[in-house]
Amino acid sequence: MLQTIKDVIADLNIDEYEKEYDTYQDIVDEIVLRGNTEHVYPFDDEHLNFTNDMSSEFLNSKIDNPDILEKYEDEIDRIIYQANNTSFYYKREITPNIQEAINEDKILRGIEDDD
């Protein structure tokens, strides 16, 4: 389970490339990007609005700014929570049952495969 923003960044860098995450908005953008993938979205769509009431001051803050940690503790905890949810679905193996649920979700949302 991810417990700190540093854990979240390490988890986001599991792919073949490493990105730089300078601000909290950078992290949120990556969580939303992964949350919109077909193997996450049908099972968890909280990533779509979990930052609605977060201030732009916080989101645009540098991750290494120590003053932000205490002032925006609740917002940071929400990012960590959502990163945990998204990461779970993003990393799990796609079984036939999961693939069936993905296909059903695509049909419900009117999305056609690119085959």
pLDDT at site 6: 83
Q: Confidence band (pLDDT; 50, 70, 90) for 19? A: confident
pLDDT at 13 over 80: no
Length of the chain: 115
Q: What is the share, in percent, of the chain residues with pLDDT greater than 90?
A: 67
pLDDT, tens digit (0-9, with 9 covering 90-100), for 36-87: 999 899 999 999 999 999 999 999 999 989 899 889 999 999 999 999 999 9
Residue 25's SS3 state is: helix
Dihedral, CA of residue 25, residue 8, residue 17 and residue 85, to nearest 10: -90
Q: Which residues contact 74 (CB under 8 A, 6 or more apart)?
A: none
Q: Give domain limits for the chain.
A: 5-109
